[in-house]
Chains A and B, each alone.
With several copies, the nearest count.
Chain A
């Protein structure tokens, strides 16, 4: 049955989409001071520092791992650089038991939750300690204990899944919600439309967090959509929406707190659009000089979200140069050492090829594994990762750092 209660008019006026405008919520200026009229969010020193640590860790990890990729130690990497405030500010506004379903550039949220440097490294080197058992490319993290769903490369598939997950949370009545992150590019997928529509129809406690970082690989947002960002789509679903300065961690934090309240207390799904910029290349396979200017990058580099927060922390007397130096040093050392150790660990065992396809391997899979084992016994030198493991030594090595092809 038809739901509209709209009033009648008698001349054919087309709406153009400029009948409203969507403002950007911001609290913190780049110099670390608050905008006039802006009140700081309810954020104590401990939490602020937990956020800051996660941001700096993410930056250090990204720099170091990109270098490792360049050295051929790692096949692939993706940086969060420039988007740490969006990702970590929002994660910090959640309960640690809330589910996070991310796209791939949200390692900061996972770091905030407490994923250890060692855990990061094991995944990236796909070694025997990787929870994912060396099956996915680097940066496809997951943690059951930290309520962080394992990353899946096909874009946007996690968005309707988040709606479903949150529906389950609502039925369970445990007071938790789900946040799902995605890029402004992924928001073009059909799954996005499905997810947001189902979320308002079924009144689901889910937060849709769009990182509008201006690019989908080489495709600028202006070739991705004609509208003013992703936010106006919320109107199509009668969903609550807010746009926020994604480089302003305080604004992101507060907006997400509020969104979480709407989600958990009122089963109101919310769309948050964080305006930010992907400062680095899309991935280690990409070179952005082919599609955007250094000048544009520089302009955004001046809006560095980490520096902005640091200045605010300093203005609160919560942070000092010495602490900064010590933190940087400690993190750099930790990353380096942990990386070295992880790289040395052996590959997952051969049977990890056939486990987890089903809850238990089928007879066919067991047969295929047995055949493979026999084959490797014939040619041990041809399969060093698994053959050497049989003799209980040897290193996993970088998973296929050999190829220099683009695209991921």
Chain B
């Protein structure tokens, strides 16, 4: 076990995956010699050569188109999109191609080897175009898997699982935590399951659900609430698609209350899907409306970022409101 930050954990996962299987390739803008603008792919080109870790031209639709072709051919591409805000030029290749490749061909062909890594989220003074959390756009797309890790240990295990999963996986990395989140990470080659949520703290009064960097926020809010005598069950969804309805529903059947938090705007955010599903599954057990604490229905701001973000105080207030309902 070593103490790593989230970037190091990701770098280690890529290193292990490339060492274990020569079909694994890493590429994207500045990914090669430089090791990526955040340095997630540091030293991979040195170790595995220019053919397996390289810079691409600056064209996201090309990066993912190229990756789709490579995956169809039987390789295991791990493509990086430099910021999640810049994934949209590749939207067609992801939503119309990656997601539908296997289905439309009746499983003659598939791009299951594909993994797309991309840093997402706010809190770094990035403004409109270096802060977005676009997971919900992809969660409406059958055929994709969408994964978001909350810390270095999770990041390594989930990324290794994503790379080896026989389906195209979008892997959103909470860039605010790249250096800020550190923790013990086993040196071994391990995988954590996709599609499974994790209860990281048990509680009885309310279920708090989030993913990625937002986990930290709901954990802090849970602490504030505990001080007021409110017992929170804290759940990390981990996989946005497919998502673990059972674990969430079971928790809500127990606590009777649910609060979901994400940075993305409220309207059309993934909390809506969860709320809609859970109100159906747990209708008779709900003691208060399912609560959503999210970004505003606006583009991501800069100077007033702190005001925009769903922070622990907002979550704390929403917990109290839910319990007092």
Q: Could you list which residues of chain A lie within 8 angstroms of chain B, going by C-beta atoms?
A: 75-76, 99, 101, 126-127, 130-137, 140, 142-144, 149-150, 152-155, 157, 159-169, 171-172, 178, 185-186, 188-191, 193-195, 197-198, 201-202, 216-219, 223-225, 285-286, 290-291, 347-348, 350, 352-359, 362-365, 368-369, 372, 375-376, 378-379, 382-383, 385-386, 396, 399-408
From the candidates A135, A194, A224, name the one contacting B128 in the complex (CB within 8 A): A135
Given A137-B130, A223-B32, A354-B296; A405-B267 close (CB under 8 Å): no
Given A197-B57, A401-B125, A408-B126; A353-B29 close (CB under 8 Å): no
Which of B202-210, B214-222, B256-264, B297-305 is the interface stretch? B297-305
- The proximity string for B residues 50-88 relative to A, scoring 1 for CB distances below 8 Å and 0 otherwise, is 011011111111101111111111110100001101101
From the candidates B59, B106, B245, B313, name the one contacting A364 in the complex (CB within 8 A): B245
Residues on B with C-beta less than 8 A from A198 are 56-57, 59, 62, 66
A353 and B296 form a contact (CB under 8 A): yes
A161 and B66 form a contact (CB under 8 A): yes
B300 to chain A, nearest CB (A): 8
Q: Which partner residue on chain A sits nearest B142 by CB separation?
A: A357
18 contacts between A and B (CB under 8 A): A134-B302, A153-B128, A154-B97, A157-B92, A157-B96, A163-B62, A164-B66, A165-B70, A185-B57, A190-B89, A198-B66, A216-B30, A290-B35, A353-B307, A375-B314, A378-B317, A399-B305, A407-B38
CA distance A99 to B67 in the complex (A): 16
- The proximity string for B residues 31-44 relative to A, scoring 1 for CB distances below 8 Å and 0 otherwise, is 01111011100000
Q: Is B166 an interface residue (CB 8 A)?
A: yes
Category for how many chain B residues contact A:
35 or more
CA distance A57 to B299 in the complex (A): 33
CA distance A144 to B110 in the complex (A): 11
Residues on A with C-beta less than 8 A from B303 are 126-127, 130, 134-135, 347-348, 385, 396, 399
B319 to chain A, nearest CB (A): 13
Interface centre among B130, B301, B303 (most CB of A within 10 A): B303
CA distance A342 to B207 in the complex (A): 45
Q: Could you list which residues of chain B lie within 8 angstroms of chain A, going by C-beta atoms?
A: 25, 29-30, 32-35, 37-39, 51-52, 54-62, 64-75, 77, 82-83, 85-86, 88-89, 92-93, 96-97, 100, 102-110, 112, 119, 124-130, 142-143, 145, 166-167, 175-176, 178-179, 195, 242, 245-246, 266-267, 296-299, 301-308, 311, 313-314, 317
A133 and B106 form a contact (CB under 8 A): yes
CA distance A223 to B33 in the complex (A): 11
Residues on A with C-beta less than 8 A from B266 are 368
Known: A225-B57, A357-B103. 15 other contacts (CB 8 A): A132-B108, A137-B130, A150-B105, A150-B106, A164-B73, A169-B73, A185-B57, A188-B59, A201-B56, A218-B37, A357-B299, A359-B166, A375-B313, A375-B314, A400-B124
CA distance A403 to B142 in the complex (A): 27
CA distance A408 to B56 in the complex (A): 17
CA distance A357 to B69 in the complex (A): 18
B324 to chain A, nearest CB (A): 15
A157 and B65 form a contact (CB under 8 A): yes
Q: Which partner residue on chain A sits nearest B75 by CB separation?
A: A168
CA distance A224 to B35 in the complex (A): 16
From the candidates B30, B86, B89, B100, name the one contacting A218 in the complex (CB within 8 A): B30
A75 to chain B, nearest CB (A): 4
Residues on A with C-beta less than 8 A from B245 are 363-364
A168 and B74 form a contact (CB under 8 A): yes
CA distance A227 to B70 in the complex (A): 24
B34 and A407 form a contact (CB under 8 A): no
CA distance A198 to B107 in the complex (A): 28
